[in-house]
Amino acid sequence: MFSFKKNYNLFGKITLSIIKPDAVEKGYSISILSKIIDAGFHIIALKMMELSKKSAFIFYEEHKEKYFFDSLIEFMSSGPIISSILKKENAVKDFRILIGDTNPINAKKGTIRNLYATSLEKNAIHGSDSNKNAFKECQFFFPIEKFYYK
Ligand code: ATP
Ligand code: MG
């Protein structure tokens, strides 16, 4: 298992990204990954996969009381996604800036959601919202003991 203690030196320097099913389906994955790399993030883990409904439920459990939850679970398990761990100083904060507002209507010009999102739900990409959640989410997708990165 990925260990928080063994990877304490990465705390504050990693975030979890998910290119969501809408963006993968439309063929935006490589353009989005290029944008992420150009912004100075190092991809230290990467995989393409499909989420089961159960996994999507667990991942977004904090929203389980919200009116959009069932639809969100349906959407996130509707097709392939690309999840990755990104490393950079201030990774969480800087990545949230790069992806833009949750609602693409409010996302600043040039942000990933501004460029590639379709709607408030189908908003192309996920980014962790705190350093603590980043570690939890990285562990969820990549349950490995150690990230090999110089
Ligand atoms: P994410 O966690 O995916 O990075 P976020 O942190 O910007 O997004 P959250 O509030 O955590 O936003 O919402 C999780 C996801 O649920 C959103 O990215 C979006 O796909 C969906 N969502 C949020 N609010 C709504 C809403 N009002 N209607 C429909 N879908 C929504
Ligand atoms: Mg969120």
* Pick from 99, 92, 130, 129: nearest CA to 15: 92
Nearest ligand to the CA atom of 20: 1
* Pick from 93, 132, 142: nearest CA to 10: 132
CATH architecture, domain defined by 13-142: 2-Layer Sandwich (3.30)
Nearest ligand to the CA atom of 103: 1
pLDDT tens sequence across 128-145: 999 999 999 998 999 865
| In the predicted structure, residue 108 carries a pLDDT above the cut 50 | yes
For position 143, what pLDDT does the model report?
Answer: 85
For 64, the token pair is 């389980």
Q: Which residues line ligand 1 (CB under 6 A)?
A: 63, 68, 72, 102, 120-121, 123, 126-127, 129
Percent pLDDT > 70 in the chain is: 90
| In the predicted structure, residue 8 carries a pLDDT above the cut 90 | no
For position 146, what pLDDT does the model report?
Answer: 55
Q: Could you tell me the pLDDT band of residue 150, with boundaries at 50, 70 and 90? A: very low
How long a stretch of residues is the chain? 150
For position 6, what pLDDT does the model report?
Answer: 65
pLDDT tens sequence across 68-79: 999 999 999 999
pLDDT tens sequence across 27-81: 999 999 999 999 999 999 999 999 999 999 999 999 999 999 999 999 999 999 9
Residue with tokens 């990545």: 95
Give the C-alpha separation, 25 to 130, whole Å.
28
The helix, strand and coil proportions of the chain, stated in percent and rounded to the nearest 5, come to 40, 15, 45
Give residue limits of the domains in the chain.
13-142
Residue with tokens 């562990």: 139
| In the predicted structure, residue 149 carries a pLDDT above the cut 60 | no
Beta pairing, strands 42-49 & 125-127: unpaired
Catalytic residue among 22, 76, 126, 127: 126
* Pick from 85, 101, 78, 103: nearest CA to 33: 85
For 37, the token pair is 């790399």
Mutate to test the pocket of ligand 1, among 74, 121, 138 (most ligand atoms within 8 A of CB): 121
* Mean pLDDT of all residues in 96-125: 98
- The answer to whether 126 is a known catalytic residue is yes
